[in-house]
Amino acid sequence: MNIGCQSMVGEMRQVLLKHPRDAFGDQAGIEAQWRGLNYLGPPDFDRACRDYDRFGELLAQSGAELQFLPPHDDTGLDSIYTHDPAVVSNNGVVLGNMGKAERAGEPRAVEEFCRSHDIAILGTITGEGRLEGGDVLWLDERTVAIGEGYRTNAEGIHQLEMLLGGLVDRVIPVPLPHWNGAHDVLHLQSIISMVDHDLAVVYSRLMPVPFRQHLLSRGMQLIEVPDSEYDTLGCNILAVAPRHLIMIAGNPVTQERLEAAGVQVRTYDGREISAKGTGGPTCLTRPLLRL
C-alpha cells in the first residue's frame, strides 16, 4: 500500500478508519466505558453505526479508498478516533505513545495493521516521550507544527523530529494552554484545522500569540470560529482536498464563513460519533496517502 501524508489538505486517496461496531462493540461496551473516558454522554450504538456509515459515504464520494482497523482487545471506545495513535510521513508510519493512558493500546493495533499490510514503520515514540497525532499539524510538506500539552510532551516532539530527520526543514513546538485540564482533550488541532495551504479555520482565543503571528506571516487567511460553535467542534474540520471539506452539521456560522471563502462544505450528523467523545472528522480519520 502506497503511503505519504505530509499534508493536511492534499487530495486524500487512502484513509484508515475504525467503525463503531469494532471500536464500541455494542451498547453494553459503551455503558462500561464512557464515564471513565470522560465522554459527555453514552453514544447510542445503533445511531452511531448509521451516522458513521454516512460519514464513510462522504469520504468514499471524495475519492478516498477506505481501510478499516479490526477489533482489538487492547483498545476501547476512543479507538474510533484513528488520527491520534500514529503520524504518517512520506517514509513510513511513526507510532505514537499516548498521553491518555486509557488509549495506550491503540498504537499496537495500528502497528499490527501496518505489518499485515506491508506498510513501512519509520519508528516509535518510546520511554518518557508522549505523542498523539491530533497535536501534529503539517503547515506544508517541509514544515510541521506540534502542540505541546497534556497529550504530547517535549520528549515526544524531540523523538518525532529525530525520526523525521531530512523529511522536514522545520519543526515548530506550540505550547498549549491548560484549558479544562489534563483529563479533557485539547490537541493543537482542537484550535486550528487547515482548509488549504493558505487558509485555516481557527479558534484564536486559545491560540498562542507567536504561533498565530507565524501563520499570518506565512500569508495565511484565518477563518474564526465563534465562541458558540467551538464546543460543537466547529473548529474540527477535515479537508479531503484543497477547499473541499467535511464538517459536523450544526455549525452554521462557521459553515457560512467557509462557503463565503469559496470552500465546498459537506456535513454529517456527529452527535453520536463526534460530539460525545469530542472528536470531529479529522479525529475520525488517519489519512495514509494524500496527493
Q: What CATH number does the domain containing 133 carry?
A: 3.75.10.10
- Separation between Cα atoms, residue 188 and residue 193, nearest integer Å: 9
At 184 the pLDDT is 82
Average of pLDDT values for 268-282? Answer: 97
* 159: in domain: yes
* 31: in domain: yes
At 183 the pLDDT is 80
Average of pLDDT values for 139-161? Answer: 98
- Separation between Cα atoms, residue 149 and residue 176, nearest integer Å: 5
The total domain count for the chain is 1
- Separation between Cα atoms, residue 209 and residue 238, nearest integer Å: 24
At 182 the pLDDT is 80
**Structural domain of 210:** 12-290
* 60: in domain: yes
Which helix (H) or strand (E) is 245 found in, with range? Answer: strand 244-248
Per-residue pLDDT reduced to its tens digit, 206-223: 999 999 999 999 999 999
At 80 the pLDDT is 98
* 2: in domain: no
At 174 the pLDDT is 98
At 131 the pLDDT is 98
Q: Positive or negative CA dihedral for 197, 198, 203, 204?
A: positive
* 35: in domain: yes
At 2 the pLDDT is 85
* Sheet with 221-224, edge to edge strand ranges: 192-196, 199-202, 221-224
Per-residue pLDDT reduced to its tens digit, 32-68: 999 999 999 999 999 999 999 999 999 999 999 999 9
Question: Can you list the positions of beta strands (E) in the chain?
Answer: 12-17, 65-68, 86-89, 92-95, 121-124, 136-140, 143-148, 170-175, 192-196, 199-202, 221-224, 238-241, 244-248, 264-268, 286-290
Threshold 0.95, pTM exceeds:
yes
The answer to whether residue 1 scores a pLDDT higher than 80 is: no
* 5: in domain: no
Cell numbers placing 206: 486559545
* 4: in domain: no
* 237: in domain: yes
At 209 the pLDDT is 97
Upper half-sphere CA count for residue 164 (Cβ side, 13 Å): 26
Which has the closest alpha carbon to 106: 151, 51, 60?
151
Which has the closest alpha carbon to 259: 223, 221, 283?
223
Q: Between these two residues, 184 and 87, which has the higher pLDDT value?
A: 87
At 129 the pLDDT is 98
